[in-house]
Amino acid sequence: MCFSDQSAANGDPAGGVPLSPKRVVHYESMIRSDAFGKCNICFEDEPFDPVGCIYCLQLVGCRKCVNQWYEAACRLSRKQCPLCRHEWEDQPEVLDIFELKLS
């Protein structure tokens, strides 16, 4: 989750206003698959809830890892796919890998 630049205007001491609400995710119920390769971020052989970039159509990795990558990228003003470096907007531009490969 990235934070907007409205933090100073709102007087938010935490450093920003979330752009999207947090989701509660139960990872033990997520799909794991090694059919498309390892997570490119944590290198897990069977990524949890694997997602791929909508631009390069490649597996990026576990959804949780991609979200953490994006949060770090926001702090560095480098909101982009870690594989193809295509600029992402307000959130990671990924789809479930199974949807991506079937479309």
Q: Where are the beta strands (DSSP E) in 1-103?
A: 50-53, 59-62, 94-96
- What is d(CA 79, CA 91) in angstroms, rounded to the nearest whole number? 8
97 contact partners, CB below 8 Å, separation of at least 6: 33, 36, 50, 51, 52, 59
Domains defined for the chain, CATH in brackets: 31-102 (3.30.40)
Encoding tokens for residue 4? 């907007």
- What is d(CA 83, CA 24) in angstroms, rounded to the nearest whole number? 27
The pLDDT of residue 20 is: 46
Does the structure show a pLDDT above 70 at 31? Answer: no
pLDDT 10s digits, 37-86: 899 999 998 899 999 999 999 999 999 999 999 999 999 999 999 999 99
